[in-house]
Amino acid sequence: MNEEKDVSKALEQMDGFWWQIRAQFDNYLDAADGQVKSFKAALKVLQSYSLECTTNFAGIKDAFAASARADHQSHSVLNQVWTTVLPAVGVLTAKIEDSAYLLLFAQADVRSVNIGERFGLNTSVAWKQFCMKSNKQKAVAEKVVHAAIEEGIYGQALKQLTVMLGHLVMLEDRFMFGGLGEAPSAEALDQAVERLNVAKESVEEAIPPLAESLLKRAVSFCQ
């Protein structure tokens, strides 16, 4: 009961951080979309002037002024989003490492494994193959654990976190591509990645004991 409460609390906290961060990413993507549209509009006006002679120089000036304003707005939003998201990601990944969120999720995934279905013990043939070959049971159990956590809460959380960090890398690149220089405090992103890697490694180290606990449940089907 307490274990499930811990998992629910961890998921709730992660979800809160995720939507806070996601809203900031969406703000930047909207600004970047406006920047692209404004630049395309300016190019279209330039084409009208140089090839079709349907626009005067004042029209070109207005279009490129609008594009410059969109660039400035996009850069402003980029700075705001970066300085808001980076600390939030740092706090989130610190919680994930310190409170072993990923390990909690992996343990929950293993607890929820349907032994009969996952080990194929619902048929007499599969039962004999598993129960009569004790030398292969450990390998089978570890394989089941890997599949369970990859498909379960752990795998979903890890994918979400990977996407989040990928978005941050994209924002960091936009500073350079936008001529703004290096993103401020970019080392915090490296620290966040390192924290997540440490959390992932703790789960990998827990695979054998998780498999052993699962195997005890599976072997009980053989009695």
Predicted pLDDT of residue 51 = 57
Q: What is the pLDDT of residue 4?
A: 82
pLDDT in tens, 117-147: 877 776 676 667 677 766 677 888 899 899 9
CB proximity list for 162: less than 8 A, separation 6 or greater: none
**75 vs 65, more confident:** 75
**Average pLDDT rounded to a whole number, residues 50-74:** 71
| pTM summary value | 0.81
Tokens representing residue 8 in the block = 């629910």
* Amino acid 28: pLDDT: 86
**H helix runs in 50-186, sequence order:** 57-98, 101-111, 115-118, 124-131, 137-151, 153-177
- Extract the tokens encoding 17: 């951080």
Instruction: Express each pLDDT in 144-191 by its tens digit.
Output: 899 999 999 999 999 999 999 999 999 999 888 888 889 999 999 999
- Residue 1: pLDDT band with limits 50, 70, 90: low
Share of the chain above pLDDT 90, in %: 45
On the question of pLDDT at 38 being above 90, the answer is no
Name the one residue in this structure whose structure tokens are 């029209």: 59
CA distances from 55 to 49, 65, 68, 125, 144 (A): 5, 15, 19, 80, 67
Q: What is the pLDDT of residues 85-98, one digit of tens each?
A: 999 999 999 999 99
Measured at the CA of 109, the angle between CA 107 and CA 115, to 5 degrees, comes to 110
Q: Which of 52, 32, 44 shows the shortest CA–CA distance to 177?
A: 32
Q: Residue 50's pLDDT is what?
A: 64
